[in-house]
Every structure is written in structure tokens, then in C-alpha cells.
Amino acid sequence: MKKMKKAPVFLYLLLMFSTVRAQYPAALPSSGAISIKTISDWMLAAGEITTGTYSISSLNSKSHLTDKTAPFSLSDWYGYQWVCGSTLNINHTAGSVAPITKIVNYKTVLTNLSGASKCWITQNLGAEHSATSANDATAASGGWYWQFNRAQGTNVADDGTVTSTNWYTSINESSDWTAANDPCTLLLGTGWRIPTYSEWVTVSNNSAFFTSDLRYASVLILHNSGFSSEVTSMTLTARGANFSYWSATQDAATLGWEPSDASAHGKLSPYNVAKTCALSLRCLKD
């Protein structure tokens, strides 16, 4: 049964203990002195490496300098910074946002599908990789699930095991999703956020997203990751069959907006659903 829906109406408190990397530092200098230590310290601060290295061969093993050919010289690293289209490497640590500890390498794409040029991750937040099909029903592709405006995510394994067990709260508050609770901001860094209702509407109205197969074939690689409306049991419904993602926008004190296909695999429509439901998240960066 679909989750307590009304008729469709087309829809920094930085928690350092939830991820060991919060935000990419400023770009390396574009001129002047640069050293292996400078580069190593930058990568360490960015979470791209976990132990400082002072070996040029270790730096040469990095694949970020896509416009250069290894072995790199020190000057090749001038101005180096993370740019959209590169992989976003995140070390998630279990806590009050991430439900389990794991390293995720998020693929990203720059697109104006939401109405303006934004950087999107091309897999669900917490997913180990992009889905392998529109109807991929695996936990590795589904990622984690959240209630509306709640930082704590939950993981549902393929065998139904739920982590964390304290994910559920009753919700009756007049608020959109706040930055302090936005898992995209808390797990990926400043600038990352959940798409708004208007942004999802713009995406959904694009004819390239009118069916499940088209959404999966798009640059966003969207798939049917399911949802839970089972209150405290966190029993997933239709993972691999239903398209349900939170927007950052509420409809009422107990309702939030989501784009959904109601398991029909056709054009998306906005639905106002109970904030207590647990849905997937996609993230974008301004």
C-alpha cells in the first residue's frame, strides 16, 4: 500500500563524527613554491588519502590529474582542486547521520536539468555505486533512508537487517529540511544539499524522465529504490519497483513533498507524504 498519500498535486552545525571529511579545502596555489608535502597535506585534509605521504610515486598513483600524464611533476599540481565530474571520495563513519561505516566513492555530474547548472551525485546517498538497472533492488545501490528533516539515516541490508535501530521519530513541525539536519551537507560537505520541490518538479517535467528506463538512462542514473511507511519496523516497500526521493520542501507540519511514480513506472508526479516515511536521498551542489 502506498504511503499515506493524498491526491497528487505536482512535489552548520557540522557533525564531524559522522564523516571523517567535511569539505574540500581551497585549491592548491596556482604559482610559487609547491612541494610533495603541500600536495600530501591537501589530500589528507580533503580525505583523498588517509595517511600523509612524501613520495612522488604515491602522488603519481592518483588519477585526479585527468589532463596530465603520469609521472606528474610538482608543477602539474598547481591550482589542483576538486571539480564536479570527478569522484567524491567520502569516508562515512557510523554515528548520528551515517548508519554504518564505509568508504563511498560518489560519481558526480554537472547538469542544468533542475533549471540551473548544479553538481549532482549519480547514486543515492549511502549507496556504494550507481544502480545497475532501473529496478535494481540491492542495498548496495539503494543507499540509506531518512525521515523528513532528520539527520539520522538508516540502512536496510538485503536480508532486511536494519541499522540504526533508533531511526524513528514522530514528526509534527512546520519546517522545510534545515541545513543543520541535511544529510547531504553533513555527509558530503558545505554546499551539498537535498534538491527542493521546485528542482524535482523541473527534472520530472523533462520528457527524458517520463519512464523508469529513461530516468535510469539519464545522466542522473535514477532508479526505483523504494521506501518505508511502516513506522517503527522500517520494512522496505518496493525496493526495485517504486521511485521515491525526498525533496527539501514540506507541504504541511506532518507532510513533505516527494517525486514519485506510484510504482507505475511512468511520469513522475509530486506527492505529499507523511514526514515519518523513510525515503532515499539524492544530493546536489550549488
Q: What per-residue confidence (pLDDT) applies to 71?
A: 74
The span from the CA of 261 to the CA of 244, in Å, is 8
**What's the pLDDT score for residue 24?**
67
Mean pLDDT of the chain: 85
Rounded mean pLDDT of 122-134?
A: 97
Say whether pLDDT at 223 is over 90. yes
Instruction: Place 8 in a pLDDT band, splitting at 50, 70 and 90.
Output: very low
In the predicted structure, residue 27 carries a pLDDT above the cut 80: yes
Q: Average pLDDT for residues 208-222, to the nearest whole number?
A: 95
Output the pLDDT for position 13: 33
Which of 40-48's residues contact partners 24+ apart within 8 Å by CB, and which partners?
42/80, 46/21, 46/82, 47/20, 47/21, 47/89, 47/90, 47/91, 48/89
Q: What is the mean pLDDT of residues 188-192?
A: 87
Q: Is 129:138 a contact under the CB 8 Å cutoff? A: no
Q: What is the pLDDT of residue 140?
A: 97
- Computed on alpha carbons and rounded to an integer, the radius of gyration of the chain in Å comes to 20
Residue 100: pLDDT over 50: yes
Contact 171, 276 (CB under 8 A): yes
Q: In sequence order, what are the beta bridge partners of 280?
A: 245
3-state helix, strand, coil in the chain (%, to 5): 20, 20, 60
- Whole-angstrom distance between the N-terminal and C-terminal Cα of the chain? 36
Name, in order, each residue with C-beta under 8 angstroms of 130's C-beta and a sequence gap of 6 or more.
Answer: 107, 122, 123, 141, 221
pLDDT more than 70, % of the chain:
84
**Sign of dihedral through CA atoms 146, 147, 149, 154?**
negative
Which residues contact residue 53 at a Cβ distance below 8 angstroms, ignoring those fewer than 6 apart?
36, 40, 59
- Asked which of 9-18, 244-253, 256-265, 276-285 is least confident by mean pLDDT, the reply is 9-18
Task: Please check the confidence at residue 253 and state whether its pLDDT lies above 70.
Answer: yes
Query: Per-residue pLDDT for 231 more than 70?
Result: no
Q: Which of 11-15, 45-49, 250-254 is predicted most confidently?
A: 250-254
pLDDT at 6 over 50: no
Q: Please, which pLDDT band fits residue 130 given cuts at 50, 70 and 90?
A: very high
